Structure 1
Amino acid sequence: MDYLEINRANWNARVPVHVGSDFYDVEGFRKGHDPLRPFELAEVGEVAGRRLAHLQCHFGLDTLAWARRGAEVTGLDFSEAAVEEARAIAADCGIPATFVTADVYDAARALGGRTYDIVYTGVGALVWLPDLARWAATVASLLAPGGFLYLAEFHPVADVLDDETGTTVTYDYFARGPHVWEDVHSYTGSGELDHPTSVQFQHGLGEVVSAVAAAGLRLDFLHEHDHTLFPRFATLVADGSAYRLPEGAPRMPLMYSLRATKPYK
C-alpha cells in the first residue's frame, strides 16, 4: 500500500472543499481573523523577527497568521493543491511567505538545508505519519541551536472513546495501524471528496515524547488541555471557539501541546 500517494490524493481533494468551508473561514482570515488558538500564542510567545517553519501546513492559514505576527515563515505540505492555494492567499493578503511542496520526511532537502528558530506543527498532523522517530529527527535537523519544536495536537486518549458520548473505551489505544478509512466527507462537514480513501497511524503520547527525546531535543513542557477544536463527541458543548465536556462532568484530556528545544553544543 502506497500510503503517501493515497493520502496525497485525498488531501488534494480536500483543498477546494476546505477553502470554501465555514470551518476554515478563508474570507474571515482575509479580513484579519486570527485562526491561532490562545494557548498556542501564549506557549509559543513572541515570534517577530524569528524564522518559523510550519510542517504539514495544509493551505497555510496558521502559517500566514504567524507571519502577520512578524515571523519569517516557510510552510511545507505534500499537497500540490494546498501549496498553490497557500501561495494565492498569501499574495491576495499581501503577506510575505514561502511555501514548498514536499513530503515532511524530505523537508531538510526540500528546504535547502536552512535552519529555523521555531518548527511549528500539529492539530491533526501526526496521524498521517507512520514513523515518528524519523519525523522527530527531521524536526531536529531543521532547528538552529537554541530553537524549538512546538507541537499542538489532539490527545490520543480521545481516539479510544466511543464517537457519540466519549465515555466508553471502544478502540484500542495501542493499535498503531495502518488504518484505512473510506469517507466521502471531510471534517469540515461540507462537500464530497473525489478521493475518499485515507491511511492513518495512531501514536500514543509516550511514543511522541520518546521520539522527540531520542532526536536530541530537550523537553520544555508537555501540557494537556481539557478542550478541543470541534465537537469530537456529541456531548461536548461550545465554549467560544473551543469545545468542552459539560460543566460538572469529569474532565479528560482532549488536546496536548509540547515544546522541546535543540540544545547548544
Structure 2
Amino acid sequence: MSRIHPTAVIESGAQLDSSVEVGAYSVIGANVRIGAGTKVGPHVVIEGHTTIGRDNQIFQFGSLGAAPQDKKYAGEPTRLEIGDRNTIREFVTFNLGTTQDAGVTRLGDDNWIMAYVHIAHDCQLGNNIILANNATLAGHVHLGDWVFLGGFTSVHQFCKIGAHAMTAFTAAVSQDIPPFVTAAGNRAVPAGINSEGLKRRGFTPEQIAAIKRAYKAIYRSSLPLEEARQALQQQEENSPESAAYIRLMREFIASSSRGIIR
C-alpha cells in the first residue's frame, strides 16, 4: 500500500495490482481494475466499469470512465477498456460506451495521448496512435493503428480513420479518411499520403510508391469512386509485394458508411 498516496481514495471493490502507483487526491471507483506497473498521477478520477492494463502512465487531472455525454444514457453498466503501455497526459476525458453501440469505449496498446484530448462514448482506437493536444473525438469514432491526429483536430461522430492516416493541425473531419491518407483543413480534404511516417515505420520505397499510385487513382484520376475502386483492384493484382496495403485502402472505401473525404 506504500505505492498509494494516503490522500487517495480507493473505493471498496476496486482491483489494483500491488505494483500500481496512485498519486495524491486521486479517486479510484469500485468497479475499476488496474494492471501491473501502471502509474496514476495526482488528482485523477477513474470511475465506472473501467479496465486499465499494464505499464500505463496516467498524468494528473485526467477523467477516465465518466458517464457518456449522451442524453440517452441511463446508467447502464457500459465500459471503458484501456490496454497496455499507453501514455495519457493531463486533463484528458475518456467516457464509457453506450448501449446504442458495442457498450464499450476502447483504447488499445502503445498509444500516446496528449493533453486535453477527449475520447467520447463508443470510440474504438487501435495501437500506436498519437493524438496531439486538444484532439477531440465525437461518439462512435474508429481509429486504425498508427493514426496521427494533429493538435485541435475534431472528428465528427461515426467517422472512421484508416491505419497510418494523418491529420494536420485544426483539421475538421466530417467523413472517413482512408488508410495512409493525410487530411487538412476545415472541412478536411485529402493532402497526399503520410509518406514520412511510412518511411519511419519501415515501409520500402516500392511499397510507398504503390500506395502513392493508389492515392492517385482515388484522388487524381477524376474517376468516379466505383471506377477508382476497380483501378485499385487492378493495381493490387499487379503489385503483389504491396497488395495488402492497396487492399486495405480498397476495402476501407467499400465499407465506408459516411463516404470518404474527396
| TM > 0.5 fold call | no
Higher relative CO (CA 8 A, sep ≥ 6), structure 1 or 2? 1
TM-score range, shorter chain: under 0.3
Q: With structure 1 as the length reference, what TM-score do the two structures score?
A: 0.24
Compare CA radii of gyration and give the structure with the larger one: 2
Structure 1 or 2: more helix by fraction: 1
